[in-house]
Amino acid sequence: MANLVEKGKMQILVIGLTRGFTILEILIVLAIISISGTSFYLILNQPKNFDRYEQTINEFKILSIYSGNSYAFTKDSIKILNQETWEELEVVDFSNIYSVTNNFNKTTIIEEDDIFLVISPGNEISIKSLTLSGGQNIEL
């Protein structure tokens, strides 16, 4: 009878030892969780369009200071002032911009081919803020 009790205890111990996870299994699960968490963070933390708009405008502010040229922005292009006429310099997509507020706090809704922003040498810009279609406001 004592042998049967010991066999029962041994079986319980053997079963108990094989139930747990190995360190390798735990490390694999943690690696999968960290990779998927990083992926979701990168997917959900994409740069917003208004960051790109502000960056582009700041680049042309600096460019106008160094080059002495004036630049104008429309919904589909950036233009340069060349002998009293605006010539297209670069094709861009600013279609998400809904309206602008000038330096006198007057808000203007932007039409398709309107020049909504002029950057002149000396870091002078013609507007104070942009409003995007989603309602976000960008202060310049």
- Report the C-alpha gap between 62 and 83 in whole angstroms: 21
Q: What is the pLDDT of residue 119?
A: 86
DSSP 8-state class, residue 111: -
Chain segment 85-108, per-residue pLDDT in tens: 888 888 888 778 888 888 888 888
Chain segment 27-66, per-residue pLDDT in tens: 999 999 999 888 888 777 765 555 677 888 888 888 888 8
- Report the C-alpha gap between 79 and 91 in whole angstroms: 9
Chain segment 19-35, per-residue pLDDT in tens: 678 889 899 999 999 99
pTM listed for this prediction: 0.59
Residue boundaries of the structural domains of the chain: 2-44, 49-139
